[in-house]
Structure 1
Amino acid sequence: MPKILTTKRKDAKPAGKPYEHKQATSSAGGGGQAIQFNRDFGQHILKNPLVLNAIVEKGNIRPSDVVLEVGPGTGNLTVRLLEKANKVVACEIDPRLIAELQKRVQGSPFASKLNIVQGDVLKAELPYFDVCVANLPYQISSPFIFKLLLHRPLFRSAVLMFQREFAQRLVAQPGDKLYCRLSINTQLLARVEHLMKIGKNNFRPPPKVESSVVRIEPKNPPPAINYKEWDGLVRIAFVRKNKTLGAGFKTTSVLELLDKNYRTHCSISNTPCPVDFDIKKKVEDILEKHDFDKKRARSMDLDEFLGLLHVMNAEGIHFA
């Protein structure tokens, strides 16, 4: 289980001396020992104050908000969030950076507003929060975004930094080169907007790729569909996104899966399954009847995929 650490508030600074942002350095503690940032954890500390301020501004944080921050690092973004929010829950896997973050707010008016969760955010149960703001380790981008979008209760918005190409995939539209399963799955559950590009030199150490910041707002209420069914369908469609659906649904592995699911559906619903049942012909007939056989996943929009799922399910074809 992740450890929850709270910062102990020491004597606050005298009145008239407001808390100042301490620019993060590469030394840990007063001894001057340098922090070696761990690339395995995707540790690239955002250092440009103008970019940090812009990210916080895009979060539209209210004084009553609880903010979830993932990967706070040395706290450059954290201290700005603490100025705006009622509470910040910071998830960090590296105990060295946790020590830096605790030291940074210790003795400040913000110490009591910060909770630190030590551990892997992908394995942790997310707390309640209103807004998520994060400079994510890029290697966890995809699993984290779906953990976030499937989290309940729904949050208001998230302002997240990703590798540039990943961000472009999130906002890609039908027909775009980068349009993929990630695009359609994210856009099913949320409204996604590209906010800004961030160059390599805004980080220490500089990453090998360019970055972008996006805003994600979950759809409320969420779409009334079985998400496992949906994901199973789009997974099949995007394996060969440039081929027609008619061709994509003819592969042996797909037909075996659909045949097994169909027979299970018949058994559960007490529907007789014909002795000579042919799943290949069944799927072909559905696709042709509803004009999906010549369509290609690369150019299908959200409504078309929802329509395809509906007609398949109505005929007893399931993907979960």
Structure 2
Amino acid sequence: MGSRGPRVLDAGIRVAGGIAKKHSLASSAGQKKNATHGGIQFLKSYGQHILKNPMIVNSIVEKGGVKSTDVVLEIGPGTGNLTMRLLETAKKVIAIEFDPRMVLELQRRVQGTPHQQNLTIISGDFLKVDLPYFDVCVANVPYQISSPLVFKLLSHRPMFRAATLMFQREFAMRLCVQPGDPLYCRLSVNTQLLARTTHLLKVGKNNFRPPPKVDSSVVRIEPRPISTIPCNFKEWDGLVRLCFGRKNKTLGGIFRTKTVLELLETNYKTYKALQLHDPSTPEGVRKLVEEVLATNGHENMRASKMSQDDFLVLLATFNEKGIHFA
């Protein structure tokens, strides 16, 4: 049933707030026509899927820890069922919506209600708009922008308290897994450096209409205070990117390759020049790399099994030798 039916039946659509191309989740093969809701046609080219389980809507809001004094950011509100539930709980909701049809539907839905003055709608692409102040973010997000969406949120200042977000299940698990898990990757390491991530809830594909091809999961992301992040993130990401290029290869195998050594030498010379030091390397960068690899057993480590502390020690050791990654 649509927005003209019971107060909460669908939980918005998985699109908007950043959709400019086809969603990574296609409708099931047997779906010949786009679904409709309250007279609005959902576009398969946008990958729009309606969450039809009201219990999940309530659970997302509850697990989001929304307070009556909170300003809530919602990404992709769609027809507004999750939005309306948030408005019942929070002081204010700021919704970012890409699809103009959904903007109109959301405006129609709150018109004349006590919540009308507490909703602000930003029409546009989430990845391109300037984010306002907010306390928490609660959203059923567009899956194909999941990674840039997470890092745009984590780079936002002032820092928010928490984000409760629904993702494609595999992506969600990558945010939360620990070293040694097959899904452990650069995304895992980078996100967990900047935030505490917790898997909250699995949402089966049959909870959507039409059902997508994959299950979903809800994740809670709590940013760490800037003062507790022990390194420069650009430096960190440069190192992690190299290590996870071949995550099951030893660090010795990675850092002895010609291309990596050439990159490190270029970075070394640039850094020295910026520090107004002689950029020449009489002993050669290769020797410096060998010294790093010989420290703390780094040579035989593999990114797929390295902890946050392992990467921090490795980065500090490289930096001590004058080797940088940004």
Same fold (TM over 0.5): yes
Please report how far the alpha carbon of residue 266 of structure 1 lies from its aligned counterpart in structure 2 after TM superposition: 1.5
Match of 1:21 in 2: 7
Please report how far the alpha carbon of residue 22 of structure 1 lies from its aligned counterpart in structure 2 after TM superposition: 5.5
- Residue identity in the other structure for 2:295: K
- Residue identity in the other structure for 2:198: E
- Residue identity in the other structure for 2:192: Q
Is the contact made by 2:270 and 2:279 (CA closer than 8 Å) also made in structure 1?
A: no
**How many residues in Structure 1 have an aligned counterpart in Structure 2?**
296
Match of 2:86 in 1: 81
Distance 2:46 2:164 in 1: 20
- Residue identity in the other structure for 2:306: M
Is the contact made by 2:154 and 2:194 (CA closer than 8 Å) also made in structure 1?
A: yes
Please report how far the alpha carbon of residue 177 of structure 1 lies from its aligned counterpart in structure 2 after TM superposition: 0.6
| SS at 2:134 equivalent | coil
Distance 1:213 1:201 in 2: 15
Is the contact made by 2:9 and 2:53 (CA closer than 8 Å) also made in structure 1?
A: no
Is the contact made by 2:67 and 2:89 (CA closer than 8 Å) also made in structure 1?
A: yes
Root-mean-square deviation (Å): 1.6
Query: Are 2:72 and 1:67 equivalent residues in the alignment?
Result: yes
Is the contact made by 1:41 and 1:137 (CA closer than 8 Å) also made in structure 2?
A: no
Please report how far the alpha carbon of residue 37 of structure 1 lies from its aligned counterpart in structure 2 after TM superposition: 1.5
Distance 2:194 2:132 in 1: 20
| SS at 1:107 equivalent | coil
Match of 1:231 in 2: 237
Match of 1:296 in 2: 302
| SS at 2:139 equivalent | strand
Match of 1:114 in 2: 119
- Residue identity in the other structure for 1:116: I
Match of 1:267 in 2: 273
Please report how far the alpha carbon of residue 100 of structure 1 lies from its aligned counterpart in structure 2 after TM superposition: 1.0
- Residue identity in the other structure for 2:36: S
Distance 1:165 1:277 in 2: 45
Match of 1:31 in 2: none
Distance 1:174 1:282 in 2: 27
Match of 2:100 in 1: 95
Match of 2:311 in 1: 305
Please report how far the alpha carbon of residue 23 of structure 1 lies from its aligned counterpart in structure 2 after TM superposition: 4.1
Match of 2:142 in 1: 137
Please report how far the alpha carbon of residue 252 of structure 1 lies from its aligned counterpart in structure 2 after TM superposition: 2.5
Residues 148-184 of structure 1 show CA distances to partners (whole Å, capped at 9, x for unaligned) of 1111111000100000100111111011110000000
Distance 1:42 1:255 in 2: 43
TM-score (norm: length of structure 1): 0.89
| SS at 2:222 equivalent | strand
Please report how far the alpha carbon of residue 145 of structure 1 lies from its aligned counterpart in structure 2 after TM superposition: 0.4
Distance 1:278 1:40 in 2: 54
Q: Which stretch of structure 1 is more off in the superposition, 303-312 or 267-276? A: 267-276
Distance 2:72 2:102 in 1: 19
Q: Which residue, 193, 210, 213 being the options, matches 1:205? A: 210
| CA spacing shift, 1:125–1:90, aligned 2, 3 Å | same
Match of 1:123 in 2: 128
Match of 1:12 in 2: none
Q: Which stretch of structure 1 is more off in the superposition, 142-151 or 245-254? A: 245-254
Gaps of 5+ in 2: 1-5, 11-34
Please report how far the alpha carbon of residue 253 of structure 1 lies from its aligned counterpart in structure 2 after TM superposition: 2.4
Distance 2:47 2:192 in 1: 26
Match of 1:183 in 2: 188
Match of 2:177 in 1: 172
| CA spacing shift, 1:298–1:22, aligned 2, 3 Å | closer
Q: Which residue, 196, 218, 221 being the options, matches 1:216? A: 221
1:25-36 equivalences in 2 (<5 Å)? 26-28=36-38, 34-36=39-41
Q: Which residue, 241, 252, 258 being the options, matches 2:247? A: 241
Q: Which stretch of structure 1 is more off in the superposition, 109-118 or 289-298? A: 289-298
Residues 263-286 of structure 1 show CA distances to partners (whole Å, capped at 9, x for unaligned) of 111212233344644222221221
| SS at 1:289 equivalent | coil
Gaps of 5+ in 1: 1-19, 29-33
| CA spacing shift, 1:220–1:273, aligned 2, 3 Å | closer
Match of 1:9 in 2: none
Distance 1:206 1:257 in 2: 46
Q: Which residue, 47, 52, 55 being the options, matches 2:57? A: 52
Is the contact made by 1:43 and 1:73 (CA closer than 8 Å) also made in structure 2?
A: no
- Residue identity in the other structure for 1:143: P
